[in-house]
Structure 1
Amino acid sequence: MRWTLPNILTVARLAAAPGVAIIFLILPRPFADWAALILFVTAAVTDWLDGYLARLWKQHSRFGAMLDPIADKAMVIIALATLMGLYGFTTLLILPVAAILFREVFVSGLREFLGNKAGSLQVTKLAKWKTTVQMIAIAVLFSYGIFEHHFGMNVIGMSPEIVRQIMSGEIEDEFNLILLSEGAIIAYRAGLVLLWLAAALTVATGVDYLVKAMPHLKEDPHD
């Protein structure tokens, strides 16, 4: 293996995957929310950058081709698990997460079973789009955590304490606080919409891979 810059970026992205979760064990919120968001977005950018540099400098390698999808899946799966831990097992969150996790496990198992024949399951443009939408959705949901921690306890409005302070006159700039609370609601809803879109794209790519694999899954009549 050559330690080219694209490979280094891929390895760094893989190392960042557990870091997104570990941050919440080390730092208090909202510092952890900020750190996780910055780390996740930076790692997501390297997903595009390492491929771009590899093509530009003609530094493609078997190691990079092997590790790149693993790093992507690790980033998405660990980030989704972290979000579930932060925001709870709500129906609107757990269903798309379950669909994404099921597809990733299913396709990974399919590739492992096919072995050398897995070349028919090359990454498609649709699969690249689903990874992009997944990462955008996760980043938006991490940003909601920042809003939620500062300006509201849940997605339906401001915390009772902020409401009490506004009503008692302790906080005078209630207009900005209301806007920030609305920002939390928008971030959460936008994140959910994007996550459901990502889940739909994820399932669609899983079905596409299954259809492509079916000729290799038929029973041999001579067995």
Structure 2
Amino acid sequence: MLFNLANILTLSRIAVIAPIVGLFFFFDQDWARWTAFGLYAFACVTDFFDGYVARSMNMVSPLGRFLDPIADKLLIAAIIGMLAAVGGLPGLAILPGVVILLREITVSGLREFLAEVRVGMPVSSLAKWKTTMQMLAFGFLIVGPASPDLIPSQLIGEGLVWAAAILTIVTGFDYLRAGLRHMTGDGEGTR
């Protein structure tokens, strides 16, 4: 079924990207940051539930397997670009954003290559932690100066984005090392 619940959740993650970015660029007010955060939080929740629903309700589909990683990459790339454009990743904090983007693009290309040689690349548990760290970091950075004075959202977000970048490097290296075995002919099942 083309539009099952799991695929609708994934598509909704793509659909909220433009409103999140629009709120940031057209409204420089606290309510806009909180609304963007709410939409972002919704997108993060759908990232968990689309896969859970697909597996538990037997709704795994080729469309879902195609759309899920694309929705993830589009959301992360848009958030990093938006934060970079409005100063939400100031100074050296732009570096972990770039590291995260580079890893996402590299792993996507690696997955595409491995799919051609019919080798699966499952998501590691460390990569799931990396994703969680990213989600938290970008959530704090979206709220930024709109947070209550007691919660230094910008500082917390910047610390978490550095931690996410470190996990990004580790998991990216793990995936690349596993993929290189198949690219160089040292892996099982290579041509």
TM-score in terms of structure 1 length: 0.76
Superposed CA deviations along residues 118-160 of structure 1, whole A, max 9, x for unmatched, are 634222222222111111110011122313xxxxxxxxxxxxx
CA contact (8 A) 2:47 2:72 kept: yes
Partner of 1:212: 178
Deviating above 4 A after TM superposition, structure 1's stretches of 4 or more consecutive aligned residues are none
Provide closer, same or farther for how the CA distance between residues 91 and 117 of structure 1 changes in structure 2, counting only shifts above 3 A.
Answer: farther
Whole-Å separation in 2 of the counterparts to 1:106 and 1:124: 16
Which segments of 5 or more consecutive residues in structure 1 lack a partner in the other structure? 148-179
Residue 181 of structure 1 aligns to a residue whose secondary structure is coil
Asked if the contact 2:114–2:121 (Cα under 8 Å) also holds between the matched residues in 1, the reply is no
Which position in structure 2 is the counterpart of 1:171?
none
Q: May I ask how many residue pairs the two structures share in their alignment?
A: 186
Deviations 1:156-209 (A, max 9, x none): xxxxxxxxxxxxxxxxxxxxxxxx4353xx222111111111111111111011
Q: Distance in 1 between matches of 2:161 and 2:84?
A: 13
Distance verdict in 2 for CA 1:189–1:204, change over 3 Å: same
Counterpart for residue 200 of structure 1:
166
CA distance in 2, matches of 1:108, 1:55: 22
Describe how 1:40-119 pairs up with structure 2 within 5 A: 40-87=40-87, 90-117=90-117, 119=119
The SS at the match of 2:16 is helix
In 2, the alpha carbon distance for the partners of 1:114 and 1:62 equals 16
Could you tell me whether the CA contact under 8 Å between 1:33 and 1:142 is conserved in 2?
Answer: yes
Aligned to 1:181: 149
The aligned counterpart of 1:4 is 4
Identity %: 40
Deviation at 1:112, TM superposition (A): 3.0
Q: Identify which of 183, 190, 193 aligns with 2:156.
A: 190
For residues 52 and 95 of structure 2, what CA distance do their matches in structure 1 show? 33
For residues 150 and 5 of structure 2, the distance between their equivalents in structure 1, rounded to whole angstroms, comes to: 42
Aligned 8 A contact 2:88 2:144 in 1: no
Distance 1:40 1:49 in 2: 14
Q: Aligned-pair distance for 1:89? A: 5.7
Counterpart amino acid of residue 149 in structure 2? S
State the alpha-carbon separation in 1 of the partners of residues 88 and 25 from structure 2: 17
One-letter code of the match for 1:127? A
Shift of 1:5: 0.7
- Relative to structure 1, is the Cα distance of residues 88 and 45 closer, same or farther in structure 2, using a 3 angstrom cutoff? closer
TM-score when normalising by structure 2: 0.87
Check if 1:30 corresponds to 2:30.
yes
Unmatched segments (≥5 aa) in structure 2: 187-191
